Amino acid sequence: MVGPLNISLVQNQDVLISEYAGLTITVIGLAEGGVKQVTDFDVSSKICGDKSRYLGGLIQKSGMAMLENENKDVMRIWLSGLHDMSDEKMEEQSIDEVSIYTVWELLRIIDVHGSAQDQIDTVELDNEFARALALPCMIFDHAPGFAHVTKFLGYNYPGQIKERRTNGFKSKQRHLAPPEFVGKLSNSGRAGLKAVLHRNLWSSIGRILSSCRSCSCWDKSIGRYIAELVHISVFPLDETFSQTSINQLFERLDRFRYTYTPNCQKCEIIDWDHGVQKAISATKTYFHGLCMDCTDTSKPKRSDHHTDY
């Protein structure tokens, strides 16, 4: 018979969260290699009690707080958020630089232990980070975050969008797949941006083809326009769109310059440069991200909320 494992406790340096600390929260981490890290956080009992029902209950019951099997770095961020720590102080303590795994764990902590306010400030997204945030936003029903992430990906991700899951995260809700986020809905949002951009870039061409074909310069007017769009690597849109983000296309369109002077007044009156800028503006304001509520109610129900969406 195998006897109980010997676990050693290693005390880390205390962490001062509040200068007006009246409470010590002891965090004991998971055992790693037979060792558990123990960290004491000096916090304000009033702030913790007011902003977290869970911590408030612990304080009222015993006058102390001990959290076991929790990550000290995650708890440090959570407690700093409860105390409204300034951006400068967070930067000094490197709290503003966290891994996606820490973000997932932080979302779980907030979901389990409760908080009276949003604890995660706006983060600077990149494509990989945004793809990994999609599922946590869905699991924790964070509609503004989900809209922000899907809007960011719609404008910044090149090609087909696929969700990325972080390694090491464990949750009873881990089996859930984000609803149509990885498939039809998010990519249809991106396809909608393509349609708006194409429609607006085509608009001036359509005007000439419908009203100016009696002149001798309509074909050159259109040809020079298309040639410039090809020159800046925007056309053919079907080809460039598959490997380029919408924002990258905007940057290329800002370089558009129409230099041809038509021979007739009908062709000359068309402002091709303005038309391109109008196409950029219309596309920039078209997509605001996916709405979780709209996604939920527009799909046929097969089972409960999580199974369907």
The pLDDT tens digits for 105-141 are 777 777 666 553 444 444 578 888 887 777 777 766 7
Which pLDDT score, from 0 to 100, does residue 305 have? Answer: 41
The model's confidence at residue 212, banded by pLDDT at 50, 70 and 90, is confident
Radius of gyration of the chain (CA): 27
The structural domains of the chain, with segments of one domain joined by +, span: 8-97, 198-284
CA separation for the pair 277, 200 (Å, rounded): 10
pTM: 0.59
Given a cut of 90, whether residue 261 has pLDDT beyond it is yes
CA 271 → CA 165, 203, 223, 229, distances in Å? 47, 11, 15, 15
Interior CA angle at 260 toward 259 and 261, to 5°? 120
Given a cut of 50, whether residue 296 has pLDDT beyond it is yes
